[in-house]
Chain A
Amino acid sequence: MSRPPILTPRKTVGNPTPRIDAIERVTGKATYSGDIHLPGMLYGRILRSPHAHARIRQIDVSKALALSGVKSVLTHENCTVVWGAGSISGGRQYADEIKKITRHKRYVFSNPVRFFGEPVAAVAATSRHIAEEALRLITVDYETLAFVLDQEEALRPESVKIWPEGNISLDANNEAEPEVYRRGNVEEGFRKAAFVFEDRYTTTYVQNAQMEPRVCVASWVGDKLTLYTPTQGTSNCRHDMARDLGIPDEKVRVICQYMGGGFGNKNQNQDADLIAAVLAKEVGAPVKLELSRKEDFIGVHGRWPTTQYYKVGVSRDGVLQALQLRGYSGMGPYRKNSGAIGGIELYQCPNVESSVYPVYTNRAVSGNYRAPEFPQGFFGIESMMDDVAHKMEMDPVEFVLKNMTRKSNDEAPYSNYTLEDCIHRGAEAFEWKKRWHAPGATPGAIKRGAGMSFMTIRSPLGQSSAVLRLDSNSRYTVFVGVTDIGAGAKTTMAMIAAEALEVPLSKIDVVWGDTDRCPFSVGESGSRTTDMTGTAVIEAARDLKRQIAEKGLPKGQDALIASASPKPTSEGKVRKSFGAHFVEVEVDTELGRVGVLKYVAVHDSGRILNPLTATSQIKGGATQGIGMALHEDLLYDRRTGQPLTAGYYGARIMTHLDAPEIEVIFIESDDGYGPFGAKCIGEAGIVHAVAVVGNAIFNAIGRRMKDLPITRDKILGALA
């Protein structure tokens, strides 16, 4: 077996490096948005709908306004701001044109309300307790309406229409069309296939549940708004705020220094940012708007639940002939993201057809959560294929090696290709041949099983910016518009600068997370920051080195300033990160309990710039995936449309005792693009972590678990 070389660490990149701000993080000195306190600041609170779908007949805020300390109350009657990034987008949030044309506008206070938890009113008061008291004094007369919670049910003719056009979510052109992809001819493929298999898989709404709930401090000085808010993209947030409030970009300053995670929950601007800004303008004082954990759980967004129907045709020797997916994604009542279902791209197959319907429901809104369309899609298709391998009496690893993607969509070349190496390396480290066995073969009540899954995920290049300053005291300051969501962007940017400038890391300072001080950055979403902003830092360093060569080092009060806004491309090649996960589980067939015994995660994310933080990213992603596979869920009462399990306990988020040891192995590569060859990593760990657990459970008990989460009751039911 060929073993790709491990790249030699360079002077700075490639060496395990503690975060440059680690001390702030362990001493409590790191300032998060909620730690900001401004003089004269008021507190904001939001009243939310207690119904899944209702028309507001009347709101009476007079008692709330009469309460001592209450300064302002907003409702749909006096605040008609439309939150552009809250709907329509189909993943195209940054296109202002879409907001102008869309028929499905999302007002920050809507009437009718379309999900339990939709904002109905907001209060600003002199203390948070008074603001909470005021919420209780607002009386709302609701006319409750029929509601629908399930994405398939929503398409039945008898279901309530959440929007007049029906329940298929409109796309950016206001059209109710599924997302369709085709190559070859599936009907012909199925006719030619020796065997055809069909099945249905479902996944549920899981919430990002980042530790820091949404909070925003809005402050106006004259006509300029300053917003302290946790956002995965200060530049995008600023532009969205300016557009939604109808003011120029330069009249908005967004500051985000430290931030308690997001996993996609904090992209762009949020309705809380808009509400805080409007309240602050109304009262003429800074306003801190805080969301409770429950509000964050149901009021922001989570991963879209899906129903996936697969039809797979294979030849007698187990080669894919045709692959079809019909999928339904529950978007909640606003389409905050595409609702796509990833996965068909994992396989080489001449005939492929995929139609995915994004569907409105009266549940919490769906949006970005770490690799938005992948973990749920990969669970569906990789469970399906594992089952096909079983029915064809093939080792699942052999089946994958025979059928996995070799070119992007079977045509475009990858910038490099290490998928096969990832799988071989993982199988070897995991001892696949020893651990995998005939399904359900372990004797006794406690059964062991082994599973594998693999992945590819986009690692695109794109435009971002960086500014570098060199002072006469030999300090290099990097100005980058990144925020540090937890992946360590600040440290990575400093390491890239040190490497590119050929100076020690200790000489680098970073100014980040402030639109008045930093240039545009892409935003910490889509695993893009290292690739895009990192490339800009390298280009700026090149510029600075050129200037130093020309002018010499600055002396006295001189300074050298360099900048770059590169827009690199991968020249027609498709950049992807690759990976393979292997897991062994133990299933107690009497109690239904699943324990993870061994977990090996092999990844090619290009050159690993900081092995310390990169390893943490993979461990975290895999662990979140295990939670999604085994227990995370947001259950609804079907009679009332109310969510029942919002929060850490209810949704059963992974804890210390749940989390197994994740063994991380990097296969490094340098495809010649990106900063020193680095590729996508932040989302890479979660995408196939759900599928691998399901496959291992199948190997343990010989029953295919098709509906997430794979809870104890479902396992016991399957075994009964």
Chain B
Amino acid sequence: MSKRKREISRRQFLEGTGAVLAVATAGPALKGQLSSASPPVTDSAASGAPSTAIRLVVNGTEHRLDVEDRWTLAEVLRDHLGLTGTKIGCDRGECGACTVLLDGRPVYSCSNLAVWADGREVQTVEGLAQGEQLDPLQQAFVEHDGPQCGFCTSGQLMSAKGLLTRNPRPTPHEVRSAMTGNICRCSNYNRYVEAVLAAAAAGGATTPKRGSGRSAQSAKPSAAVAATKSRRGTTIAAASAGGVR
């Protein structure tokens, strides 16, 4: 089993998995668990496929993992870290259900290989609330009936989080532009936009929390914010992230 770092292009990755690539799922039975402690890495690379040792900081907790090079970030979060809040709707960068923040920037975790995230910081929906205290975005999503079936909700939340971090007072059009890479087939788009605007109006931006408990968990919060500042539109960021290597 190879432990060296390998360069895997998006093309090879897609060719290898294309037609039959399907939903990556697993995690502990009947609960999506929070990663307050690093759970044991089950099902680690064992099939004889090339693998690589990586280090991920997920929701402020460091994980050292031996991952198969073909595993996507979404797959590792869901199957091997038990963070099943991240959903996989298409597994090919079309729907945004799997959106997470990678160094503060929204990306499609289905279109990023786990090895590409080596040494980087990941935030998932499980890392939004502070204990029982919901993030203002989560609170607004509840009050405005954002989630209908709820399957796209984690992705919508993470895109919105990325947006409010770099633009605390977006216009409705800026919200739609930033989140248009997140499809909601229940089509509750009006509600999601309302909710993000309400969270922004309520001070839902991350600004007040910087330097508090959250940034203490974060390996490099200021760098994460800086990385997103110059970007316009989550869609572009998220959609192109898989190809940026």
Q: Which of B30, B43, B94, B191 contacts A647 (CB 8 A)?
A: B94
Of A301-309, A422-430, A468-476, A651-659, which stretch is located at the interface? Answer: A651-659
Per-position contact with B for A606-648: 1 when CB-CB < 8 Å, else 0? 0000001101110111011001000000000000000000011
User: In the complex the two chains form, is A659's CB within 8 Å of B189's CB?
Assistant: yes
Q: A36-B30, A291-B23 are in contact. Are A18 and B183 (CB under 8 A)?
A: no
Q: Which of A18, A28, A647 contacts B142 (CB 8 A)?
A: A18
Per-position contact with B for A9-25: 1 when CB-CB < 8 Å, else 0? 00000000011001111
- Answer yes or no: B176 CB below 8 A from chain A CBs: yes
Q: A18-B142, A23-B134, A26-B141 are in contact. Are A292 and B23 (CB under 8 A)?
A: yes
Nearest residue (CB) in B for A255 is B30
With a 10 A CB-CB cut-off, give which of B29, B31, B125, B175 has the most chain A CB atoms.
B29
User: In the complex the two chains form, is A656's CB within 8 Å of B180's CB?
Assistant: yes
- Answer yes or no: B38 CB below 8 A from chain A CBs: no
- Answer yes or no: A477 CB below 8 A from chain B CBs: no
User: In the complex the two chains form, is A261's CB within 8 Å of B185's CB?
Assistant: yes
List the B side residues contacting A213 at CB < 8 Å.
22-23, 88-90
With a 10 A CB-CB cut-off, give which of B17, B28, B32 has the most chain A CB atoms.
B32
List the A side residues contacting B20 at CB < 8 Å.
45, 47, 132, 135-136, 292
- Answer yes or no: B76 CB below 8 A from chain A CBs: no
User: In the complex the two chains form, is B25's CB within 8 Å of A29's CB?
Assistant: no
In the complex the two chains form, what is the Cα distance from A512 to B203 in whole Å? Answer: 37
List the A side residues contacting B25 at CB < 8 Å.
34-37, 215, 288, 290
Contacts of B48-98 to chain A: CB distance below 8 A: 48-49, 68, 70, 78-79, 83-92, 94-95, 97
In the complex the two chains form, what is the Cα distance from A212 to B89 in whole Å? Answer: 6
With a 10 A CB-CB cut-off, give which of A126, A616, A647 has the most chain B CB atoms.
A616
- Answer yes or no: B124 CB below 8 A from chain A CBs: yes
- Answer yes or no: A485 CB below 8 A from chain B CBs: yes
- Answer yes or no: A293 CB below 8 A from chain B CBs: yes
Q: A18-B142, A36-B30, A655-B180 are in contact. Are A487 and B148 (CB under 8 A)?
A: yes
Q: Which of A37, A126, A293, A624 contacts B47 (CB 8 A)?
A: A126
- Answer yes or no: A68 CB below 8 A from chain B CBs: yes
- Answer yes or no: A586 CB below 8 A from chain B CBs: no
Per-position contact with A for B181-194: 1 when CB-CB < 8 Å, else 0? 11111111111110
In the complex the two chains form, what is the Cα distance from A667 to B79 in whole Å? Answer: 48
- Answer yes or no: B147 CB below 8 A from chain A CBs: yes
Of B3-11, B112-120, B149-157, B216-224, which stretch is located at the interface? Answer: B149-157
Q: A27-B128, A211-B87, A616-B191 are in contact. Are A260 and B176 (CB under 8 A)?
A: no
User: In the complex the two chains form, is B87's CB within 8 Å of A260's CB?
Assistant: yes
User: In the complex the two chains form, is B23's CB within 8 Å of A215's CB?
Assistant: yes
- Answer yes or no: A30 CB below 8 A from chain B CBs: yes
* Interchain nearest-CB distance for B25 vs A (Å): 4
Nearest residue (CB) in B for A39 is B29
Nearest residue (CB) in A for B33 is A29
Q: Which of A26, A34, A620 contacts B187 (CB 8 A)?
A: A620
User: In the complex the two chains form, is A25's CB within 8 Å of B84's CB?
Assistant: no
> Number of residue pairs across A and B with beta carbons under 8 Å?
234
* Interchain nearest-CB distance for B114 vs A (Å): 13
User: In the complex the two chains form, is B87's CB within 8 Å of A620's CB?
Assistant: no
User: In the complex the two chains form, is A612's CB within 8 Å of B188's CB?
Assistant: no
User: In the complex the two chains form, is B142's CB within 8 Å of A26's CB?
Assistant: yes
List the A side residues contacting B125 at CB < 8 Å.
26-28
In the complex the two chains form, what is the Cα distance from A615 to B148 in whole Å? Answer: 11
Nearest residue (CB) in A for B146 is A26
In the complex the two chains form, what is the Cα distance from A649 to B181 in whole Å? Answer: 10
User: In the complex the two chains form, is B145's CB within 8 Å of A27's CB?
Assistant: no
- Answer yes or no: A127 CB below 8 A from chain B CBs: yes
With a 10 A CB-CB cut-off, give which of A30, A47, A263 has the most chain B CB atoms.
A30
Q: A25-B147, A261-B148, A293-B90 are in contact. Are A657 and B95 (CB under 8 A)?
A: no
**Interface SS of chain B:** loop
In the complex the two chains form, what is the Cα distance from A132 to B70 in whole Å? Answer: 12
User: In the complex the two chains form, is B150's CB within 8 Å of A292's CB?
Assistant: no
List the B side residues contacting A38 at CB < 8 Å.
29
User: In the complex the two chains form, is A25's CB within 8 Å of B190's CB?
Assistant: no
In the complex the two chains form, what is the Cα distance from A661 to B193 in whole Å? Answer: 10
With a 10 A CB-CB cut-off, give which of A36, A45, A258, A661 has the most chain B CB atoms.
A36
- Answer yes or no: A90 CB below 8 A from chain B CBs: no
User: In the complex the two chains form, is B138's CB within 8 Å of A293's CB?
Assistant: no
- Answer yes or no: A593 CB below 8 A from chain B CBs: no
List the A side residues contacting B68 at CB < 8 Å.
129
User: In the complex the two chains form, is B21's CB within 8 Å of A653's CB?
Assistant: no
User: In the complex the two chains form, is A261's CB within 8 Å of B151's CB?
Assistant: yes
Nearest residue (CB) in B for A210 is B185
User: In the complex the two chains form, is B32's CB within 8 Å of A31's CB?
Assistant: yes
User: In the complex the two chains form, is A211's CB within 8 Å of B85's CB?
Assistant: no
* Interchain nearest-CB distance for B56 vs A (Å): 17
Q: A212-B89, A261-B186, A656-B193 are in contact. Are A616 and B94 (CB under 8 A)?
A: no
User: In the complex the two chains form, is B151's CB within 8 Å of A27's CB?
Assistant: no
- Answer yes or no: B126 CB below 8 A from chain A CBs: yes
List the A side residues contacting B189 at CB < 8 Å.
619, 623, 654-656, 659
* Interchain nearest-CB distance for A139 vs B (Å): 15
Nearest residue (CB) in A for B138 is A26
List the A side residues contacting B186 at CB < 8 Å.
211, 261, 486, 616, 620
- Answer yes or no: A128 CB below 8 A from chain B CBs: yes
- Answer yes or no: B24 CB below 8 A from chain A CBs: yes
Q: A260-B87, A293-B89, A486-B148 are in contact. Are A657 and B176 (CB under 8 A)?
A: yes
- Answer yes or no: B37 CB below 8 A from chain A CBs: no
List the B side residues contacting A487 at CB < 8 Å.
148
Per-position contact with B for A42-66: 1 when CB-CB < 8 Å, else 0? 0001010000000000000000000
List the B side residues contacting A258 at CB < 8 Å.
149-150
In the complex the two chains form, what is the Cα distance from A61 to B94 in whole Å? Answer: 33
Q: A69-B47, A132-B17 are in contact. Are A653 and B185 (CB under 8 A)?
A: yes
Q: Which residues of A approach B to under 8 Å, CB–CB?
A: 18-19, 22-32, 34-39, 41, 45, 47, 68-69, 126-130, 132, 135-136, 208-213, 215, 258-261, 263, 288, 290-295, 484-488, 612-613, 615-617, 619-621, 623-624, 627, 647-649, 653-657, 659, 661-662
* A36-B25, A290-B25, A485-B149 given; 13 more Cβ-contact pairs under 8 Å: A25-B150, A31-B32, A34-B25, A34-B88, A35-B27, A35-B84, A128-B22, A132-B21, A261-B148, A261-B149, A615-B145, A619-B187, A653-B185
- Between A and B, 20 residue pairs with Cβ closer than 8 Å are A25-B150, A26-B125, A26-B141, A26-B150, A35-B26, A127-B43, A129-B47, A132-B21, A211-B95, A212-B87, A213-B23, A290-B25, A484-B149, A615-B145, A620-B188, A648-B90, A648-B95, A656-B175, A656-B176, A656-B184
